Amino acid sequence: MRVIDRTTGQVVAGGVRPAESAWARFRGLMLRPGLAAGEGLDIRPCGSIHMCFMRFAIDAVFYDGEGRVTKVARNVRPWIGLAFGGRSARGVVELAAGAAAGVEPGHLLHFQPSTTTSDRRAA
């Protein structure tokens, strides 16, 4: 799926896959070698993240039930980082460090389903 910042019109990431099962939400990006440009992981429900067993830094964009950004945690460090989205956070999009440039609290996110076969395979 694509994640678009409706406030700015910016495509935040074009290859975001949802963490649909409890196991996928628990595992997140742990033990992955990294994220390619435009890749990300959408975890919901989720109000906070940890970076145990992570090999790379990420940007974490937390959002509420309406898709409004509650917090952007930038360059969250591997192994020791923690990030909290705030009381109203209902989900988080984890992106490569630096990918959330321009996204700010209060912005509205739009989650657009993938339309191409290759996008569906990546989800």
> Residue 73 belongs to what H/E stretch?
strand 69-76
**Domains along the chain with CATH numbers:** 2-115 (2.60.120.1140)
List, for residues 41-82, the tens digit of each pLDDT value. 999 999 999 999 999 999 999 999 999 999 999 999 999 999
Residue 32, judged by CB atoms within 10 A of its CB (0-12, 13-18, 19+), counts as middle
List, for residues 111-123, the tens digit of each pLDDT value. 999 775 444 444 4
Instruction: Calculate mean pLDDT across residues 88-114.
Output: 96
Given CA atoms 112, 103, 88, 18 in this order, what sign does their dihedral have?
Answer: positive
For the question of whether the overall pTM of this predicted structure is more than 0.95, the answer is no
As a whole number of angstroms, the distance between CA 15 and CA 92 comes to 15
